[in-house]
Structure 1
């Protein structure tokens, strides 16, 4: 049985129990009110009778009036013997009051409504009667009592009508509650089924599921959370697919990057082994083998370095230091290669400009960007500029090279991506890892890097290194 049908049955049972309890309470209250009204009517008749001298003749005179009201009066003397009416065969003479009730009457207290046999029908206790003690005047001595009653069937008929109405109300209310509960259960069951179907779609790999949510109740909140989950799964699946494509591309790129130097090395060594290369060319061949081996070593080391940085397995020894000397050292280091392409490296940095960073990693970041600039610039300039701002140190490395399209700018951070393979230089940027490492190192420094470029207008890298004080304030 489905959950909501179980809830429906529980809901109906609760309603029936509540209605039954309230109905029984109301029934008992109404029943007591009927008895109380009957007692009050009989008490009014008793007040009228007791105000006169009680004799058989007087009772016989008023009997027609009492008969019209379906009321009978029995008169018992002080010895509890009935004086009026005379003994009748249809009235049980052994129907007497208990000792305690007689004592109550003897003391002058009247008895409330009680079942009593007064000959209205053939069944026993066919009347409901009250009992009024009689006292002599002026001595106030007990002289007997009157039993004034009406047929019990009249009261029973009223109570039976109350019972039938109560039962009818319970059945109607129960039926209505069953219908309403069934409709609610069906409505909620459809919503659960919709979630269940959506779950099966997700299990089958369809993450485009969207469940309507009207922000009405907890089920709509659940639907919203479900939609957020499917959206997250969709994004995650797209990222997984992207990563899988990158993995395939990475394997292809690694194989391609390694194949060229390995092919060169194997060819040269095989030529030397087979005597194809004359001895006078061996020195040049060994130099080429050594160069290609170093290239392979750099490729492996840069891959390892990239993975360690991305996995946050490196520790940064961040200190405050002047960046102008670092820029000058880098310019001197790159000057020879830049001169081959008629490139001028210009430094624009005041001596007091300082940065909060790991010195070795900072140098690595700047070197990789400058290498990239040298690779894609010919007969131009590369400007390295450093300025201190309010909450960070800003470094701008700008070249006058070939520039990049918007799509190329978006992809330069990907591992092994090369904006223009035809312009690849064997000394700088041969692996396509330089800018990927720069991005990861900037993230490790909690810094920010941005690129602006356009084809034929050069490229500008902007790096923001937060001050030590800024980072401490952000962590508080």
Structure 2
């Protein structure tokens, strides 16, 4: 079984551990430094007094005893004792110690002082009645060793100074530890709450709630994480909306396709059953065959338009762009659709200058213009369809305008939707077919890096404006 430790306690333990370790290291270093400083100061003081005494003895050799007694009174107040001895280690003058100096010094120390070197011992616990710091200085006259002076001072006072410093240090460490604990608890609790908010928000997202947001600030990594979390949830929210929209479109697509397939298939099945059961007379058979052929072509067009639409959506179509004489293309479209227009008592008029060209894929541009022109013919009776073209600012503009029934303003954006006309045809639209044409047109124009706009007035006509870059 795994033991769970709260983030708050982890942070507290981490901060306190760091602080304690840091203070221990600093305390040891500081204590060592203070101790070193105290003993260095004491040995320096003793050496200074010893040098001063020896210098004054050289200046006043006739009053040696008076000089030494004068210094005795001064140094006694500072708890410093000294011994002046000759080159044989015999004591010349002592403030307290009477034992021969040679018994106090090691052979190595005696040799060093005879060689004119100063000997310092910061702590000595064995050779004197108490633990002392002592300094041994050589007495040199006319470059000859004539003796030396030994100065001692109890280390009791030094220890008291060091102990007092350590006491202050311990109090400081305890105070700093308390403050650090308080600050650490506040910060850890604050960050713990922020992490808890993130965990709760994550749980809500896991349950399907994509509206949750977390206050974020780019002051630290947790704030940046909250900001990234909000961005992630926003994208998930948009993705879910898109998925829902796609699912709705899929269901609508299946319903639309089923509807569009049902009508021609029912017609074809009725014709076949009628012929099989000899319910259609000989003179009506040709008419039945023609109707079946028309419905079959209608099914083929539906399948082809759906294939085109899916190819365009999945970028499976490659455009082969070239410069095209626009007047020739529009005249070809007019010739192809004049018969269809005549059935509606419509006229097609081409209005474009001979020099106008357009840079596009010939087959796909033809598909675009035929789709729009057929659409205009379909919704125009006894009217005119204008095919215009001109250049503007390195762009070619193509207009298809009719004098038909027009489009309601609120329906203009809907015409680009897949099966829009099929939906309308089930209610009020007496015209036909599948409603895929304009959806394909929109995709193809976009593939050409162009734009297509529509203006319309109910009862007065509609104008499609295609703008393609040259």
Band the TM-score falls in, shorter-chain normalisation: 0.7 to 0.9
Deviation of the 1:444 alpha carbon:
2.0
The structure-2 alpha-carbon separation of the partners of 1:196 and 1:406, relative to structure 1 and needing over 3 Å to count, comes to farther
Q: How many pairs are equivalent?
A: 458
Match of 2:146 among 139, 143, 148: 143
Alignment partner, residue 474 of structure 1: none
CA–CA separation in structure 1 for the residues paired with 2:414 and 2:205: 31
Relative distance call for 1:173 and 1:244 in structure 2 (3 A) is same
Partners of 1:319 and 1:356 within 8 A in 2: yes
Note the C-alpha offset of 1:379.
2.6
1:139-288 aligned at under 5 Å gives the runs 139-288=142-291
In structure 2, C-alpha distance between the alignment counterparts of 1:367 and 1:237, rounded to whole Å = 37
| TM-score (structure 1 length as normaliser) | 0.86
Give SS of 1:412's match: helix
Question: 1:449/1:185 Cα in 2 relative to 1: closer, same or farther (>3 Å)?
Answer: same
Change in Cα spacing, 1:325 to 1:116, as seen in structure 2 (3 Å) is closer
> Equivalents in 2 of 1:366, 1:46: separation in Å?
117
2:110 to 71, 79, 102: 102
Greater shift in the superposed pair: 42-51 or 4-13: 4-13
* CA offsets 1:2-54 (integer angstroms, 9 cap, x no match): 56754554444444444444444333333232223323432343345432469
- Partner Cα distance (1:60, 1:316) in 2: 118
| Partner deviation per Cα, 1:318-354 (whole Å, 9 max, x = no partner) | 2111121221222222222323333222211111111
Q: 1:424 to 1:205 in 2, by over 3 A?
A: same
- Of residues 63, 69, 79, the one that matches 2:78 is 69
Change (3 A) 1:117 1:189: closer
Q: Does 1:112 align with 2:120?
A: yes
User: Equivalents in 2 of 1:462, 1:8: separation in Å?
Assistant: 70
Give 1:286 deviation, angstroms. 1.8
1:74-114 superposed Cα distances (whole Å, 9 cap, x missing partner): 3444334556659989x899963233321221122322343
Give the superposition deviation at 1:360.
1.3
1:370-421: CA deviation from partner (whole Å, max 9, x where unpaired): 1111122223222111112232211011122222233321121111111742
Deviation of residue 232 (structure 1)? 1.8
Find the aligned partners of 1:180 and 1:157 in 2 and give their Cα distance: 34
Does structure 1 retain, via aligned residues, the 8 Å contact 2:201–2:212?
yes
Could you report, residue by residue, the CA deviation over 1:182-222 in whole angstroms, capped at 9, with x for unpaired residues? 32222222222222222222222111122212333343333
Q: Give yes or no for the alignment of 1:392 onto 2:395.
A: yes
- 235-244 or 447-456: which moved more? 447-456
Q: Residue 366 in 1 paired to residue 369 in 2?
A: yes
- Confirm or deny that 1:380 pairs with 2:344: no
CA-based RMSD of the aligned residues comes to 3.0
Q: 1:425 aligns with which of 422, 426, 431?
A: 431
Is contact 2:89–2:101 with CA below 8 Å preserved after alignment?
no
The secondary structure found in structure 2 opposite 1:385 is strand
SS at match of 1:407: helix
**Residues 82 and 453 of structure 1: is their aligned pair in 2 closer, same or farther, counting only changes over 3 Å?**
farther
What's the TM-score, normalizing by structure 2?
A: 0.88
1:28 maps to 2:36: no
Partners of 2:289 and 2:73 in 1: how far apart?
A: 147
- Distance of aligned partners of 1:320 and 1:58 in 2 relative to their CA distance in 1, 3 Å threshold: closer
Matches within 5 A, 1:308-319: 308-319=311-322
SS in 2 for 1:269: helix
| Aligned equivalent of 1:472 | none
1:364 is displaced (CA, Å) by 0.7
2:88 counterpart residue number: 79
Shift of 1:147: 1.7
Distance in 1 of aligned mates of 2:125 and 2:399: 117
Q: 2:450 — aligned with what?
A: 447
Task: Write out per-residue CA displacement over residues 274-331 of structure 1, whole angstroms, 9 at most, x where no aligned residue.
Answer: 2333333222112211111111111111111111122111222221111212212222
2:416 is paired with a residue of what secondary structure? coil
Is the Cα contact below 8 Å between 2:90 and 2:100 reproduced in 1? no
Q: 1:155: Cα distance to partner?
A: 0.5
- Higher mean alpha-carbon deviation, 293-302 vs 77-86, is at 77-86
Does the CA contact (< 8 Å) of 2:385 and 2:400 recur in 1? yes
CA deviations on 1:245-292 (whole Å, 9 max, x unpaired) are 010000000000010111111122212222333333222112211111
Shift of 1:120: 7.9
Q: Gaps spanning 5+ residues in structure 2: where?
A: none
1:352 and 2:355 aligned: yes
Mapped to 1, the partners of 2:286 and 2:70 lie a distance apart of 157
Pick which of 368-377 and 163-172 moved more.
Answer: 163-172
The verdict on how the C-alpha distance between 1:115 and 1:314 changes in structure 2, with shifts beyond 3 A counting, is closer
Report the secondary structure of 1:431's partner residue.
coil
Once residues 176 and 250 of structure 2 are traced to their aligned partners in structure 1, the CA distance between those partners, rounded to angstroms, is 67
